[in-house]
C-alpha cells in the first residue's frame, strides 16, 4: 500500500489537530481513539452490494438482463452522488425479501466463500488489526445494508458496524423478515455523520471527546471526512483525490 503525503500507512500515533475538514473541531483530553472505515472500495476492492446482486442473479433469483440494467443505473447514480437511497435499498433487497430468511442466509454464506473472502486482501486486514492493536475502537460505516455487510465486518474482526438498517415485518402473524424499507436514518452521505453521532452518544461520547480517523474512497463520504479529526482518502475516486490533495489530507492507496 502507498500513503501520501507521508509514508506511515498505519494508525496515526498520538492525537493531533484536525487536518483540514470544514467541520474541523478541537479535541481536548482525548481518551478514546476511533478508526472509522468505509467498506466498499475502501477495505475491499469491490462493491459488496453490487457483487451480491450479481451473485444472486446467477442463482436465478432475478431476471439477469433487467437486474443488470437497474443495478448499473443505480451504481452510476451512486458514483455521481445522485442516488435515491430508499429506492435503491428496495431494489437491492427485493430478492431476499422474496426468498425469505433461510434461503437468503444460506446464499450469503456461499457468497462469503465464493466472493468476499477472496476480496479481503492482507494489507487491508492488517490496517484494521494495526488500529485494534493500538487500542483504537474500530467501526465500519457503510451505505450498504446490514444483511450484506454484517458477515463481512465479522470477517475483518470488527464488531461495531454502522450500516443501512432494514425494517422487519413485525405485524401480528408477520414473517419477522425484511420488508425492503429502511429503518431509521440511512448511513449514506450526511446520514453517516448522523449515524456516527448516534453511535457516539450510545457510548457516552461526543465529537469533542474522541479522536477519529476516517478512511473512505468516495465523494459521497465527504461530510464524514470533513467531520473526522484525520480524514484519509483511501483508494480515492478522482474528485475525492483532488479535494484531498488541495486540503493536504492523507491519501492511502491500499490496493494496486
Which three cell numbers mark 95? 430478492
CA-based torsion, 131, 133, 135, 137: positive or negative: positive
Longest C-alpha distance within the chain, in Å?
Answer: 58
CA-based torsion, 49, 38, 119, 163: positive or negative: negative
Cβ burial of 132 (10 Å; 0-12, 13-18, 19+) is middle
Q: What is the pLDDT of residues 47-100, one digit of tens each?
A: 999 999 999 999 999 999 999 999 889 889 878 878 899 999 999 999 999 999
Q: What is the pLDDT of residue 110?
A: 98
Architecture of domain 48-119: Up-down Bundle (1.20)
Type and span of the H or E element at 179: strand 178-182
Q: Which of 8, 38, 49, 217 is catalytic?
A: 38
Output the average pLDDT for the chain.
89
SS3 79: helix
Q: What is the pLDDT of residue 19?
A: 38
Q: What is the pLDDT of residue 30?
A: 61
Dist CA 235 CA 2 (whole Å): 10
Dist CA 165 CA 187 (whole Å): 8
At 29, the pLDDT band (50, 70, 90 cuts) reads low
The pTM score is 0.88
Q: What is the pLDDT of residue 25?
A: 38
Query: What residue spans define the domains of the chain?
Result: 2-45+121-253, 48-119
Question: Per the CATH hierarchy, to which homologous superfamily does domain 2-45+121-253 belong?
Answer: HAD superfamily/HAD-like (3.40.50.1000)
Q: What is the pLDDT of residue 171?
A: 94
Q: What is the pLDDT of residue 46?
A: 97
* Residue 38 designated active-site: yes
Min mean pLDDT across 21-25, 71-75, 114-118, 210-214 is at: 21-25
Question: Is the confidence at residue 12, as pLDDT, over 80?
Answer: no
The share of the chain scoring above pLDDT 90, in percent, equals: 82
Number of H helices, E strands in the chain: 9, 9
Q: Which of 40, 47, 136, 217 is catalytic?
A: 40
Q: Do domains 2-45+121-253 and 48-119 have the same CATH topology?
A: no
* Residue 40 designated active-site: yes
Question: Is the confidence at residue 245, as pLDDT, over 60?
Answer: yes
Amino acid at each position: 500500500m502507498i500513503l501520501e503525503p507521508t509514508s506511515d500507512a498505519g494508525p496515526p500515533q498520538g492525537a493531533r489537530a484536525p487536518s483540514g475538514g470544514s467541520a474541523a473541531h478541537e479535541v481536548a483530553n482525548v481518551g478514546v481513539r476511533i478508526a472509522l472505515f468505509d467498506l466498499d472500495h475502501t477495505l475491499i476492492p469491490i462493491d459488496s452490494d453490487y457483487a451480491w446482486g450479481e451473485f444472486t442473479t446467477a442463482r436465478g433469483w432475478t431476471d439477469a438482463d433487467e437486474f443488470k440494467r437497474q443495478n448499473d443505473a443505480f451504481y452510476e447514480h451512486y458514483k455521481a452522488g445522485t442516488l435515491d437511497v430508499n429506492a435503491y435499498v428496495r431494489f437491492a433487497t427485493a430478492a431476499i425479501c422474496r426468498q425469505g430468511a433461510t434461503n437468503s442466509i444460506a446464499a450469503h454464506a456461499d457468497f462469503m466463500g465464493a466472493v468476499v473472502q477472496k476480496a479481503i486482501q492482507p494489507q487491508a486486514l492488517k490496517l484494521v488489526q494495526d488500529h485494534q492493536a493500538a487500542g483504537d475502537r474500530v467501526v465500519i460505516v457503510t451505505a450498504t445494508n446490514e444483511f450484506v455487510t454484517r458477515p463481512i465486518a465479522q470477517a475483518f474482526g470488527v464488531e461495531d458496524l454502522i450500516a443501512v438498517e432494514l425494517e422487519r415485518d413485525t405485524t401480528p402473524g408477520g414473517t419477522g423478515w425484511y420488508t425492503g424499507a429502511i429503518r431509521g436514518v440511512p448511513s449514506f452521505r450526511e446520514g453517516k455523520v448522523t449515524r456516527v453521532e448516534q453511535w457516539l452518544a450510545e457510548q457516552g461520547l461526543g465529537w469533542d471527546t474522541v479522536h477519529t480517523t476516517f478512511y473512505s474512497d468516495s465523494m459521497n463520504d465527504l461530510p464524514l471526512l470533513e467531520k473526522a479529526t484525520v480524514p484519509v482518502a483511501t483508494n480515492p475516486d478522482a474528485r475525492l483525490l483532488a479535494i484531498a490533495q488541495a486540503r493536504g489530507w492523507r491519501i492511502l492507496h491500499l490496493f494496486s
